[in-house]
Amino acid sequence: MQEGGSVNKPLYSTRGWLFFRSRRGAEALTRVGATAIILVCAVIILIPAAWMLSTSLKTLQEVLTFPPKWIPDSWMWSNYPEALTFLPFDIYFRNTALITFAVLIGDLLTNSLVAYAFARLRAPGREILFTLVLSTMMVPYQVLMTPQYVLFHRLGWVDTFRPLVIPAWFGSAFLIFLLRQFYRGIPSELDDAARIDGCGFISTWWRIMVPLSLPALASAAIFSFTYNWNDFTAPLIYLSSPGKMTLAVGLAYFRHRYGATPWHLLMAASVVAVLPCVVLYFTAQKYFIQGVVVTGVKG
């Protein structure tokens, strides 16, 4: 078969035009066009991030000038210490890290055990129970927010980290789903063999499933980390004393504590607040993408 069948078509004056009439040529043309569009969109996506960095290194005077400058006259690195000491951001940072890691450990442990059970162990009612797990993803947080507050208020947990950490140790539907999808892809001969060798269910999980599912656990860990690092609603509701605030709440609070909005300092503090997630993203982006794909496409 001739390439694109273009040979029988009337010839045009230039060879270049003929090339673009052929199938391979048309494909090349599409690819060039697509690359151009993508390039423009990528720049558009990056502009706000660049603007954030640029603002964080200007003086307030320079921030409030028109037309704006991309490159500050002098790089105000001192904005960073100034922003971070205006409010006790070191304490917020520590609190956020503490909560995020306490949730992370619970998330990994509980959800991988639950997911293993759903993926491998046969029991009556398993499918119904799994449907129930999935259906809880449809329940909006707003429905649970008020009565959970009442519950934690009764338990005396308000203004402690407990309402933010302890529920996570009882599993999350999204992560159970993510890990179960992955576990189902592991050949069952492997854990059958371990079982025949006399391993119990827990040790099969620990010796076979955990080592083989490290990529999925990495995805789960990343989701857990970024979600809790950025979470605003729950810390806003439960934490009230200044020494217990998290970065997200502190940032929102910052905006109103200063007279005129100090955009340069706000952006500096924001850069610091998002930095852990950005670093994590660039070092482990394979697992970010994988996690999104597993939950989105293979659902």
The binder of other proteins chosen from 143, 156, 187, 211 (CB under 8 A): 143
Compare residues 124 and 156 and give the one whose CB is closer to other proteins. Answer: 124
Cα angle 233, 239, 244; round to 5: 125
The binder of other proteins chosen from 232, 242, 243, 257 (CB under 8 A): 232
- Cβ atoms of residues 179 and 115 within 8 Å: yes
Compare residues 10 and 143 and give the one whose CB is closer to other proteins. Answer: 143
**Would you count residue 282 as binding other proteins (CB under 8 A)?**
yes
Q: What radius of gyration, in Å, describes the C-alpha atoms of the chain? A: 26
**Would you count residue 248 as binding other proteins (CB under 8 A)?**
yes
Of residues 60 through 99, those in contact with other proteins by CB under 8 A are 63-68
**Would you count residue 38 as binding other proteins (CB under 8 A)?**
yes
The binder of other proteins chosen from 7, 42, 193, 214 (CB under 8 A): 42
The binder of other proteins chosen from 7, 11, 145, 193 (CB under 8 A): 145
**Would you count residue 281 as binding other proteins (CB under 8 A)?**
yes
Span from 97-105, 130-138, 177-185, 210-218 in contact with other proteins (CB under 8 A)? 130-138
How many chain residues interact with other proteins (CB under 8 A)?
Answer: 92
The binder of other proteins chosen from 74, 122, 131, 260 (CB under 8 A): 122
**Would you count residue 226 as binding other proteins (CB under 8 A)?**
yes
Span from 8-16, 74-82, 185-193, 269-277 in contact with other proteins (CB under 8 A)? 269-277
The binder of other proteins chosen from 20, 101, 157, 263 (CB under 8 A): 263
Q: Which amino acid is at 37?
A: I
